Amino acid sequence: MDFKEKIAQLISNIVDMNKSDIKELIEVPQNCTMGDYALPCFKLAKELKKSPGLIAKDITEKIPDVEYFEKVGAVNGYVNFFVQKEFFISGILSDIINKKEEYGKSDLGKGKNIVIDYSSPNVAKPFHAGHLRSTVIGKALYNIFNFIGYNSIGINHLGDWGTQFGKLIMAYKNWGDKETVERDDVKELSRIYVKYHEESEKNPSLDDEARGWFVKMQNGDKEALDLWKWFIDISMKEYNRIYERLNIKFDYFTGESFYNDKMDAVVDELKEKNLLTKSEGAEIVELDNFNMPPCLIIRSDGGTLYPTRDISAAFYRKKEYDFDKCIYVTAFDQNLHFAQWFKVIELMGYDWSDRLIHVPFGLVNLPDGKMSTRSGRVVLMEDILNSAVNKAINVINEKNPELENKEQVAEQVGIGAIIFNDLYNSRIKNVVLDLDKMLNFDGETGPYVQYTYARTCSLLKKGNVDENGILGESEYITDEASYRVIKLLEEFPAKVIDAADKYEPYIVTRHIVDICQAFNKFYHDNNILGSEEKIKKARLSLTFAVNCVINSGLKILGIDAPERM
């Protein structure tokens, strides 16, 4: 039963207010003594011209007796609803056991496409820790929107075009050779790219030569394009290897170069609409009226820029996918870039410009400061994954050396720990790499959640509960620890929707931790397998429900759930 829906219906019969607006106001109190649900009446005060306290009192007095609420009370401007516990517990458990991993799914986004642009590393540079955030946040959002009925379309907008390739061609011609590049792949490309920046600081004329090579690429020069394609092939081998380990898939790899033949139409339209202005040889869209610097469309040497390609990509995606929203998961320091070209599309007269959403995030830092590709100060993603998996296998050898498939479980735990750590806090916060903290089985971590899931699997196996579940009688689930678990399970669907509304995967991550903590208290306080048969059955029902929801939560986050650890 959707208790918020029931409350909204009851109150809409009393107050002249839309049921959906009432439902939006309903809260779940932190303190359970204040009820299971609460309606704050402060927003109603202005409209009804009464104090919140009087409104709460009036509503409480007019609500009829219904079987699913034990009592309704008014306290400090809130209407507090206490659910009839047995009714509540029975409803939630039967819902989860019947739906299993479908529990919490909805059709909110039915028939709507969500394009999500994420990961998007710059080709010919190593896949380092700085790429992790866009990759895992984007994938989690992809899964969240799918979970609530949208059709998610994941695009890896590879940085496979631009002046950096002119620099890399220069670097290769001056300090590289084919044999070393083929042997050391992206690591060698990164080395010579760093070398280029070191040398260009001493000799700025190198930058002019690099720009010249990029212009050659734009003009179809065979040598330049052959080198460019080779750099891409070398890079993709590494990227695909890492994506496979992270269990990340994309629907499309359409990088910047894909839009090369689509930019002229955009530039022509900007000219037709008198939005382009000449400035020192470049062509720009003035944004002074919006407190932003101009958006550069064409460089003085005729080259295109990021905004040109991003605008072209947005038009292509709207035409190809007719998106409800197009989400861009990139670092916070790109806020201005997205604000500028979003505004350009608005100025072009397209009402879907407000459907372009930038989802920014903070940095991944080393313990002693910021990373930089140009200076070579990066931590490679593959090194991080290997370190995490090695630490996980050491923990498994210490705690459960007889475990079957140790290597596979270590891979799931080590990589899951990295992803979980990234998604545990609000995305805007910076993340500092700390493998010891990530792999702590006792903290609010991925391994803790995976271990709790494995505990539920073990209990269900020992209790002879198969994949179809078991529904015990709710009257035997009476203690506060059990009820706390049920309440958190009931909140799960709303938490997923909230995460989608706010583009914040951490809402799901934290809620799964809350469920695990509550379950482990329930496990500590109650004898599950050794209790009387009817009580045992009821407690195994609760365990099965927790198992289903933790598994769903981990899948949403893109993390594997090993059954044994």
Other beta carbons within 10 angstroms of residue 374's beta carbon come to 12
- The answer on pLDDT for 191 being more than 80 is yes
Supply the pLDDT for residue 368: 63
Supply the pLDDT for residue 46: 82
- Averaged over 72-81, what is the pLDDT? 94
For 313, counting Cβ atoms within 10 Å of its Cβ (0-12 exposed, 13-18 middle, 19+ buried), the class is buried
Catalytic-role residue among 125, 157, 167, 487: 125
- Averaged over 304-333, what is the pLDDT? 96
358 classed as catalytic: no
Catalytic-role residue among 85, 131, 318, 325: 131
173 classed as catalytic: no
157 classed as catalytic: no
Supply the pLDDT for residue 514: 97
Per-residue pLDDT band at 152 (split at 50, 70, 90): very high
- The answer on pLDDT for 463 being more than 90 is yes
Per-residue pLDDT band at 367 (split at 50, 70, 90): low
Supply the pLDDT for residue 432: 79
Question: pLDDT of 97-132, one tens digit each?
Answer: 999 999 999 999 999 999 999 999 988 888 888 899
Q: Which residues of 456-489 are buried (b: 16+ CB within 10 A; e: fewer)?
A: bbebbeebebeeebbbbebebbeeebbbbbbbbb
Question: pLDDT of 219-269, one tens digit each?
Answer: 899 999 999 999 999 999 989 999 999 999 999 999 999 999 999 999 999
Supply the pLDDT for residue 313: 97
Residues 6 or more apart whose CB falls under 8 angstroms from that of 179 comprise none
Supply the pLDDT for residue 297: 96
Average pLDDT, the chain: 93
Question: pLDDT of 381-413, one tens digit each?
Answer: 999 999 999 999 999 999 899 999 999 999 999
- Averaged over 552-563, what is the pLDDT? 97
Residues 6 or more apart whose CB falls under 8 angstroms from that of 561 comprise 412, 450, 453, 550, 551, 554, 555
Percentage of the chain modeled with pLDDT above 70 = 98
- The answer on pLDDT for 369 being more than 70 is no
Which domains are assigned to the chain? 3-83 (3.30.1360.70), 113-167+226-365 (3.40.50.620), 381-428+436-557 (1.10.730.10)
- The answer on pLDDT for 526 being more than 60 is yes
Supply the pLDDT for residue 68: 87
Per-residue pLDDT band at 556 (split at 50, 70, 90): very high
Catalytic-role residue among 4, 85, 128, 157: 128
